[in-house]
Amino acid sequence: MTKTATKSPQLKSLSDYIQERFEEFSRSQKDVARYIVDHLDEAAFLTAEEPARRASTSSSTVVRFSQALGFEGYPELQQAAIEEYRTTIAAVGSAAGPLFSFDHSELEGSLSADYANLEETARKLTTEQVNNSVAALATAQRIVIVGVDQMAFFASYLRHTLSLLDIRAEIVASTGGESLQRLGRIDENTLVITLSAGRAHPLLLRAMKLALHRGARTLAISDATMSEVGEHAEMTLYFSSNSPSFTRSNTALMALVQALAYGLYARDEDLHRDRIKAYKLK
């Protein structure tokens, strides 16, 4: 007997249906769910192997995830993704047309993806989210930034931009003794910021839960709207990381860090102007 898709996926968008049933999935299936919701354009046109690779799981998990939603297999889920993607593109519109032709080079494909990442990030963030994050940075007595592996670079860059405004921050980038000591000093006057892409490192979850236990403020910056870390955070900021390459794109994350720094600078431009001039940054 052939299995057919349930009616529920057809009555609402695929993204909405996935988010509605998110807590029913296994951990690996949640990774697939996060990827599809935040990278709908890729899920719509790639084979099951590619979402599996980017979600750090197997293609069989992607198929089982499709079936858990009521589809016969991944091709049927993919068709639902295509329909939602077409509807979204039609709603947004683009009078100027595509940035590059369909038959583009690797360079053009990468630049086009980054252009789209910036646009999607800007559309999904709200003024309230950004203003609350800037206010938290401006008023925190102590700031701890947690970023592991590739995210350690962006943690360092965020600390650098804050230091230009005379705001000190500490970095936790590993499970080493010194990093754990910094986490151990978290208290109610601390703002804990986590940076993540893809499945969150266990250290980020540990830091976030510790911060909550000690009454610290928390900000999760992630490329997943259903971030595992974000579930525990007071504030969240999303960035899009779609990429045709073998690594995630961090262009939107860099822009977001820059935007936070600019927001802090704009709160009291007179106070910071002379300091910035001394650095000869502009």
169-224 per-position pLDDT tens digit:
999 998 888 888 899 899 999 999 999 988 888 999 999 999 999 999 999 999 98
Q: Do 158 and 33 belong to one domain?
A: no
Give the pLDDT of residue 6. Answer: 43
Q: Do 131 and 88 belong to one domain?
A: no
DSSP, res 195:
E
Q: Do 89 and 205 belong to one domain?
A: no
Q: Do 134 and 86 belong to one domain?
A: no
In a domain, 77, yes or no: yes
CATH code, domain with 239 = 3.40.50.10490
Name the domain count of the chain. 2
Q: Are strands 190-196 and 142-147 parallel, antiparallel or unpaired?
A: parallel
pTM for the model stands at: 0.71
What domain range is 167 assigned to? 125-279
Query: SS3 for 78?
Result: helix
Q: Do 129 and 206 belong to one domain?
A: yes
Q: Rounded CA gap, 263 and 185, in Å?
A: 27
In a domain, 155, yes or no: yes
In a domain, 258, yes or no: yes
CATH code, domain with 48 = 1.10.10.10
Q: Rounded CA gap, 144 and 56, in Å?
A: 28
Nearest to 232 by CA among 221, 242, 218, 244: 218
Q: Do 55 and 167 belong to one domain?
A: no
Q: Do 63 and 191 belong to one domain?
A: no
105-116 per-position pLDDT tens digit:
788 778 888 888
Q: Could you tell me what percent of the chain has a pLDDT over 90?
A: 45
In a domain, 103, yes or no: no
In a domain, 132, yes or no: yes
CA angle (239 as vertex; 234, 242 as ends), nearest 5: 145
On whether the CB atoms of residues 123 and 135 are closer than 8 A, the answer is no
Name the helix (H) or strand (E) containing 30. Answer: helix 27-38
